[in-house]
A and B are shown apart, each in its own frame.
Chain A
Amino acid sequence: MSLGPYASFIVTSYAAAAVVVAILIGWIVLDYRNQTQRLREMEERGITRGSGRSAMDAS
């Protein structure tokens, strides 16, 4: 596959898309870990919801 004289523009476009999507995924994964960690710490300190169910309860 030859990308011709404008290969740098094509490669930069795909690389930029990969980097931005990777940043989005990384941000969402880290945010999830951060929120679940905070909830776990609060539950360990005895701070629970009014219903008594775990704040991470998804069932």
Chain B
Amino acid sequence: MTLIDLANPTRFLALTARVLPWLAAATVLLLAIGLYQAALAPDDYQQGATVKIMFIHVPNAWLSMFVWGVMSIASLGTLVWRHPLADVAAKAAAPIGAAFTFLALLTGSLWGRPMWGTYWEWDARLTSVLILFLMYLGLMALWRAVDDPSRAARAAAVLTLVGAINLPIIKFSVDWWNTLHQPASVMRMGGSALDKSFLIPLLVMAIAFTLLFVTLHLAAMRNEILRRRVRALQMMQASRVAFSSEIGAGARGQNASNEVGAA
């Protein structure tokens, strides 16, 4: 099955019906393994047991940016290639991305209080992620504000691509400015700075959360396709009612003129 085949929503629905149970099972399995490994991971020599928050915080932080990246590619699909499912993908991803970003902020804050002595600091990393969260909410509001999905899609696609500027700012904020947040320790030049006892559970949890996103995203896309079918049927019914009432009015008008003529 090619990407062009998936442009057909009916084929996409058939694919998701087959794939979703397997994806859900793989997600549950990997999450269980990741949580087990996270529970068994040793305490950090400086942070103690609070390092366990990392196994939740970091995957959510990665996904907060990854989901916006997916939405940006989907936005290109809307504006450039006009792929029929591109705006469906972008719209379905926004609430999921917002949830991951919220979790990244919340768990970061809960990690920050015992380690930094504060829940929040207006530094570059924290503020740029907060802006990302607000942009997710803004996009969701935009989708709800415009009734016609195709009109909303173009506006949302432009906003998403403009918002993508924030992604490198988030990534490099810890290098460009002085922040409380630690610099990159997993994806960096020279390899990971984490010990394997932390790195392996972290990677398992990251893959598990990514699978969770893929599963939820496909399910949300399926819902959006069905929602658009409901809307299309409602519009078709409304136009049929309007057409039949026009015919009725025309027939009544014809009868009236015949009666006038007869009189």
Interface of A with B (CB < 8 Å)? 1-7, 9-10, 12-14, 16-17, 20-21, 23-25, 27-28, 31-32, 35-36, 38-39, 42, 47-50, 53, 55-59
Stretch from B9-17, B80-88, B151-159 forming part of the interface with A: B9-17
In the bound complex, do residue B230 and residue A6 qualify as a contact, i.e. CB atoms below 8 Å apart?
no
Chain B 220-242 per-residue mask, 1 if CB under 8 angstroms from chain A, else 0: 10110011011011101100000
CB distance from A17 to the nearest CB of B (A): 5
Bound-complex Cα distance A56 to B99 (A): 28
Question: Cβ of A6: which chain B residues have Cβ within 8 Å of it?
Answer: 48-50, 114
Q: At the interface, yes or no: B96 with Cβ under 8 Å from chain A?
A: yes
Question: Cβ of A36: which chain B residues have Cβ within 8 Å of it?
Answer: 226
| Most A-side CB within 10 Å, residue of B56, B96, B223, B227 | B223
Q: At the interface, yes or no: B57 with Cβ under 8 Å from chain A?
A: yes
Chain B 29-49 per-residue mask, 1 if CB under 8 angstroms from chain A, else 0: 000000000011001000011
Instruction: Pick 14 A–B contacts, CB within 8 A, sort by A.
Output: A4-B43, A4-B48, A4-B50, A6-B50, A21-B212, A28-B216, A31-B220, A31-B223, A32-B226, A35-B227, A39-B226, A39-B233, A42-B237, A59-B10
Bound-complex Cα distance A59 to B49 (A): 51
CB distance from A14 to the nearest CB of B (A): 6
**In this complex, what residue of A is CB-closest to B102?**
A20
Total residue contacts A-B, CB cutoff 8 A: 105
In the A-B complex, the 5 residue pairs with the smallest Cβ-Cβ separation, listed nearest first, are A58-B13, A35-B226, A6-B114, A4-B49, A13-B107
Given A6-B48, A32-B223, verify A47-B56 contact (CB < 8 Å): no
Interface SS of B by simple majority: helix
Identify which of residues 138-194 in chain B touch chain A, using a CB-to-CB cut-off of 8 Å.
none
Question: Cβ of B226: which chain A residues have Cβ within 8 Å of it?
Answer: 32, 35-36, 39, 55-56
Bound-complex Cα distance A39 to B236 (A): 13
In the bound complex, do residue A38 and residue B230 qualify as a contact, i.e. CB atoms below 8 Å apart?
yes
Given A24-B96, A36-B226, verify A12-B110 contact (CB < 8 Å): yes
In the bound complex, do residue A57 and residue B10 qualify as a contact, i.e. CB atoms below 8 Å apart?
yes
In the bound complex, do residue A13 and residue B223 qualify as a contact, i.e. CB atoms below 8 Å apart?
no
Bound-complex Cα distance A9 to B56 (A): 12
CB distance from B115 to the nearest CB of A (A): 9
